[in-house]
Each structure stands twice: as C-alpha cells, then as structure tokens.
Homo-oligomer: A and B are copies of this chain.
Amino acid sequence: MKRKITLKQIARELDVSISTVSKALSNSKEISEDTTQKIQAFAKLYNYKPNNIALSLKNRKTKTIGILIPEIVHHFFSTVIRGIELIANRRGYNVIVGLSNESFTKEIINMEMLANGSIDGFILSISKETLLKQDYHHFHATINQGMPIVMFDRVVSEVDCDKVIVDDFTGAVKAVKKLIDSGCKRIGLITTMDYVSVGKLRTQGYLEALEDRGVVADSNLILKIDDSLDVENHLEILENEMTQFFKVNETIDGIFAVNELYAVTAMKVAKRLGLQIPNDIQVIGFTDGVLSKHATPSLTTVSQHGQKMGEQAANLLIDRLEAIDTESEQYFTNNERKSDFIKMVIETEIIERESTK
C-alpha cells in the first residue's frame, strides 16, 4: 500500500526543491524544460495529485458547498440535491449534505459543524421547527461571518440572502382555476397548518382563485391536517380525517391538495367511497413526485421543478462565491445594500394526467 505522494517527497527523490517541483507541475517557465520534463514524468508515474485540504487551507476556500435540508427521503428534496450536484460538479465544486430532520437544534448543530471552514457557502431549506420558533439567529450569524447562504423553497423574509422559490401562490391559483374551468362547483382544499409558509401561500392561492371566479369560499371545504402527528407512518389517521371530510361534504366535486401524499390519499378514500375519478370528482396535487406519476389514476399536479430549483440555487451561490474573490472590496460594500439579493422565482407548471378532465 502506497500512501499518496507529496511535493516534498518528489523533491527529495529528484533532488530539487519543493518550489521547483510545484512550479514544474504548473508549467511555469521559470523552470528549464529538462527539469520540467523529468518532474512531470515522475509525478505522473507516482500519480501525484495535489492535496485538496492543503489547497483549501492555502486558498481559504474549499470548493465545497453545504446543503442543509430537513429530510432527504423525499422526492422533492432529492431532486433539488440532484440539481445542485449537477451544477456544482460542472463548476468544480463538491457538495456536503446535512439533514436537520425538521429539528431546530439539529439545524444549528449542522450549520456550526460546517461553517467552521468546511464549506464556502450554504444552500438550505428551513426546518419546520425553526419556522415555528421563528428564530433565525443562526442564519444571521453565518451570513455575518461572511459565508453566503442561498435559501430555497422554505424561505423567510427576515433573512437577507439569495432565494429560490416556486410561485406557490400562482401555482395554486392556476390549479384551482383549472378545476373550476373543468366544471367543478365545490372544490375542497386539503392543506397543512399555516406556519409552513408554502402551505399558507398555496391556501391563499386557492382562495384567490375562487374569488377570481366568483365562487364564495366555504370553510367547511377546507381541511387542515395537523402535521405534528406523524402522518407518514399513520396513514389511517389521514384516511379517517379525509373520509369524514368527504362524508360531511357530499357535494364536493374537486380537490386541491397542497402535497402529493394528501392528493393520492384523497383519491384512495374517494374511490373507496364509490366516487369515480375524474368523473365524480377531480383531483390536483402540488409537488410532482413519483406518487403522482404512478398512482391510478395518475395524478394531475403542479410541478415545482425541484431539479431546476437546485440548479439555480447552485448557480446563484457559486456566482456569489466567485464574485467575492475577484472584486473583494467592491463586494463588501455592495453587500450592505440588501437590494442586492436575488429572489429567483421558478415557474410552476401543471402536469395534466388522468385525475382531471
């Protein structure tokens, strides 16, 4: 087993100085052709590759970006990671991922662990607990230390940084209008509690669409799921709530659900109650994941383009990182003006499938 070879070892072997080796390998014309040849040949033979850690220390940048997300076993988040990784790799960066598991504390621990030199910047989506607590000091702290952050999807106006979001509001409006225009008269909304900003926005979109089309909203038609209970592992709870919901609202003929799971569960319950989809009731979900695609009937959804969000977030972050080294002075002064931060909105798109007419 041969450990990785270093400049020092090459230098010793070839009886030259470390500087000479370094220069020869970077084709500096300070070094004679002879020596360069000899050194390069030797280096190739021993498969020399510069040590990244040493480079990071010297350059004070790691060429690594930190991703901090609430959960990885989740189609949307993994598509975002894929987008980030794609761009990062293309632009010469690595990605290191931390999972907050929706916990405030884990989010902080993870940030501190990574912020101490391991990465050049963050791409993150805020955990539910943090949103609930509304405590964003750790974000401010990292930004203050000169480490850029890009937030995506679950963002918050209190923190000044670049953001990539989806037009949740407009997406919801489009979805609900589509239901109305396809003949739905009484459209139910299945949503989460309001503290998750995206849920709130989608709810507002639902209301807006109704109003626009001159339909009066009926609070009976809104089902708010308490996501403090672990719904993913207790599907019965979800199904029971929805069954009740359908029984109370017999005339319901359309459903807009703020996520995939709610939508497919609603379809399942509806079918069980003898309703035909899309004839008796049409359904649209939010977040185009694997469930929507393979459900029977397949589900019409509002796609968030997770991968594109990831790509944009990565580009934003890397752009900023590389702006920092070129025009260092200018950056810092500009940075004071919060107007400098970019809020990028990814357009949603309705993917039509079998659950709507």
Contact = CB atoms under 8 A, between A and B. Distances in A.
B97 A95 contact: yes
A112 B64 CA distance: 15
Nearest to A5: B145
Copies in the complex: 2
Given A3-B146, A145-B2, A116 B291 contact: no
Interface string A1-23: 11110000000000000000000
A53 B51 contact: no
Interface in A57-92: 57, 62, 64, 72-75, 78-79, 81-82, 85, 89
Interface residues of A, number: 58
Interface stretch (A122-130, A184-192, A211-219, A264-272): A264-272
A113 B85 CA distance: 13
A98 interface: yes
Contacts of A72: 78, 81-82, 85
A259 to B, nearest CB: 12
A54 B57 contact: yes
Interface of A: 1-4, 47, 49-54, 56-57, 62, 64, 72-75, 78-79, 81-82, 85, 89, 94-99, 110, 112-118, 141, 144-146, 235, 261, 264-265, 268, 271, 289-291, 293-296, 332, 335
